Amino acid sequence: MPLDPLCAPHALSRRGFLKVGAGFSAALACTALVPSLAGCASGDAAPQAGMAWLRPDDVALFSALLPAIVSDLAEAPPPRRAALMQQALRNIDANCAAMGAGAQAELRKLFGLLASTPLRWALTGIRQHWNHATPQQMQAFLARWRASRLATLNAGAVVLVKLSSVGYYVMPAAWAGSGYPGPNAAIYQALHA
């Protein structure tokens, strides 16, 4: 017995699912095709200077995400915030560079979608470049993706938050803000001696 569309407004039919998938595929294809036709393709863009894997647009994305996810950064004085941000970005870069080829390919697709201005606006509601996004806009974008009926957007929000959180909270300088006192000195010395 088919579901009544009025009784299940959030149910996505197989046809609807295929349309959404086809729409995202077409959007991604267009964002890859248009710049290449104009002679300014960024498909083989080099990593940002000092990074192993993250490209300049990826660094801008995480620079906007980190203060929205980590409240310690928003409260830190500017020089300390800049130093913590740089170290967190290097950690995120190292984590992405250490992933397998399959995971890197999926991340590159996600970052590619978010680097395209029309798709960024449609998917996140943020029209301007990441450099000009506020923490409140970034939090709204993450909340929008978490509340989405599309599992792809839910997963994208989880990946972005986890990469940002791990990149920040792995630093000893961030442990106090999370309530972690650090490893037991005697045990740490015994394991690393």
Q: What is the pLDDT of residues 72-86, one digit of tens each?
A: 888 889 999 999 999
pLDDT score for 39: 40
> How is residue 184 written in tokens?
């037991």
Average pLDDT, the chain: 83
Q: Record the pTM.
A: 0.76
pLDDT of residue 126 exceeding 70, the answer is yes
pLDDT of residue 22 exceeding 60, the answer is no
Specify whether the CB–CB gap between 155 and 110 falls below 8 A: no
Residue 166 region by backbone torsions, left for phi larger than 0, else alpha for psi between -120 and 50, else beta: alpha
Please enumerate in sequence order all residues whose Cβ is within 8 A of that of 136, keeping only pairs 6 or more positions apart, or say none.
Answer: 68
Q: What's the rounded mean pLDDT across residues 40-54?
A: 80
Q: What's the rounded mean pLDDT across residues 39-55?
A: 78
Q: What's the rounded mean pLDDT across residues 108-126?
A: 93
Distance CA 116, CA 29 (A): 11
Range in 2-6, 96-100, 102-106, 188-192 the model is least confident about: 2-6
pLDDT score for 1: 46
> How is residue 161 written in tokens?
């938050």
